[in-house]
Amino acid sequence: MSAASAPIVDIRHVSKSFGSLKALNNVSMSMSLGEKVVIIGPSGSGKSTLLRSINKLETVDSGTIIVDGFDINAPTTNINSLRMELGMVFQSFNLFPHKTVLENLTLAPIKLKGMSKAEADEIALKLLDKVGIKEKAHAYPAQLSGGQQQRVAIARALAMSPKIMLFDEPTSALDPEMIGEVLDVMVTLAKEGMTMAVVTHEMGFAREVADRVVFMDHGAIIEEGTPEHFFVNPEHDRTKLFLSQIL
């Protein structure tokens, strides 16, 4: 564990409601640089909302979220430049269908970082090589399989050289035979030391990669700990129940 440094993400007493539904109920959690946190829990437990509130795709009702030293809800914070440091991977890939794979990767670096096309292309091709689909660089997203699309989505997020990667159920929309190829890319990324927050149902991945597993239910964190603690010796009944259902 590399918990020695100051937290890069610090979530304090955050609450959020959708109408009468309390999605987050006074949640606090922090992450340090290089740490890999896997958030699990039944659907509707608020885990995706928590993840999405880190880059302000959801605005919280109360509490503070500090990312890399900036309070994301402070009026002085430029959320757009902060988001450049937060790569996000979605369940439904959300690739830009009107752009080629390569253009999906280079659009943001060129437009937001002022990178030259040549430089952006070079970086993009390296990343595509890394996720194993360099040969599809000039294809359109619709021509790729789900697994391939998700790997492109990961590469797209990486193209901005983020400090943190957020994964929102990255394999939930995939056919079973494609889950492995995406998890492999994520494992590689983890081994390289990327700071990662992952919402997933893939317990194997959690076991292998996580520094810390967070279990959420009904908008609150019930239990958190190392995978060893979590999978071998969970404390709470609700955790036990959830694990018994999913494993």
Distance CA 76, CA 59 (A): 16
CB-nearer residue toward another protein: 138 or 191: 138
CB-nearer residue toward another protein: 111 or 236: 111
Where does residue 177 rank: exposed (0-12), middle (13-18), buried (19+ CB within 10 A)?
A: exposed
Render the burial of 30-59: b for 16+ CB within 10 Å, e for the rest: ebbbbbbbbbbbbeebbbbbbbbbbbbbbe
With binding defined as CB under 8 A, does residue 151 bind another protein? no
Among 33, 107, 125, 220, binds another protein (CB under 8 A): 107
- Residue 241 beta carbon to another protein: minimum distance, rounded to whole angstroms: 32
CB-nearer residue toward another protein: 97 or 176: 97
User: Quick one: CA dihedral 94, 95, 98, 103, positive or negative?
Assistant: positive
- Residue 103 beta carbon to another protein: minimum distance, rounded to whole angstroms: 10
With binding defined as CB under 8 A, does residue 173 bind another protein? no
With binding defined as CB under 8 A, does residue 117 bind another protein? no
With binding defined as CB under 8 A, does residue 90 bind another protein? yes
Q: Which stretch binds another protein (CB under 8 A): 29-37, 124-132, 138-146, 210-218?
A: 138-146
Is the distance from CB of 164 to CB of 86 less than 8 angstroms? yes
Nearest to 170 by CA among 142, 200, 141, 191: 200
Which residues sit at the interface with another protein, rule CB under 8 A? 55, 57, 80-81, 83-84, 86-88, 90, 92, 94-99, 107-108, 111-112, 140-143, 153, 156-157, 160
